[in-house]
C-alpha cells in the first residue's frame, strides 16, 4: 500500500516526497553506474514524486539516453533520478531507499529486492549473479 514518504540527501539541500509502497519491491541494477553507486531504489510514477530541492543545490549526470541522475552539489548524495524506458512503461522516477527518512533497520532489512540486468539492457530480467549488488 502506498504511503507518502519524505527523504533527502545527507546535508538536506535536496529533498523529496514520494508516494511509495515501502513493502513493495525495490530494485538493484548491474549497469555500470548503478554498480559503482550500489544503487538501491524504489521506482515511482512521475505523478507520485515531488522534488522539494533547492534548484541551485542539484547537479545532474546524464547517463546515455535513459537516465538523469541527480545529486547534491554539497554532499554528493544522489537521493533520486528520472528516466524513460518503454519496456518499463515510459517515464519514471526513482528514489534511493536509503535516502527515505525514518525507515528503521528492521524495515530496510524487510524490503524485497528485485534485480535488473541493465548491463545488457535487459531491464526485466535479473543478471546471473546478484550477490555483489
pTM of the model: 0.90
β-sheet with 49-51: strand ranges across: 3-8, 15-20, 49-51
CA neighbor of 8 nearest in space, from 79, 74, 60, 57: 79
Say yes or no to pLDDT of 106 above 90.
yes
- Model pLDDT for residues 51-103, shown as the tens digit of each residue: 999 999 999 999 777 889 999 999 999 999 999 988 888 999 999 999 999 99
pLDDT attached to residue 123:
84
Q: Where are the domains of the chain?
A: 3-106
How far lies 63's CA from each of 10, 30, 60, 82, in Å? 23, 14, 10, 11
Bridge partners, residue 4, by sequence: 19
pLDDT attached to residue 63:
78
Architecture of domain 3-106: Beta Complex (2.170)
pLDDT attached to residue 25:
92
Report the distance separating Cα 25 and Cα 98, nearest Å: 14
Amino acid at each position: 500500500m502506498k504511503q507518502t514518504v519524505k527523504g533527502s540527501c545527507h546535508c538536506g539541500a535536496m529533498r523529496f516526497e514520494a508516494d511509495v509502497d515501502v513493502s513493495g519491491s525495490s530494485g538493484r541494477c548491474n549497469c555500470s553506474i548503478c554498480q559503482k553507486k550500489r544503487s538501491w531504489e524504489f521506482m515511482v510514477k512521475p505523478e507520485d514524486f515531488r522534488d522539494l530541492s533547492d534548484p541551485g543545490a542539484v547537479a545532474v549526470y546524464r547517463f546515455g539516453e535513459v537516465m538523469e541522475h541527480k545529486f547534491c552539489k554539497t554532499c554528493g548524495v544522489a537521493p533520486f533520478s528520472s528516466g524513460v524506458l518503454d519496456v518499463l512503461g515510459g517515464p519514471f522516477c526513482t528514489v534511493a531507499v536509503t535516502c527515505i527518512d525514518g525507515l528503521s533497520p528492521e524495515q530496510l532489512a524487510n524490503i524485497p529486492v528485485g534485480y535488473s540486468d541493465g548491463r545488457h539492457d535487459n531491464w526485466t530480467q535479473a543478471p546471473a549473479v546478484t550477490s555483489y549488488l
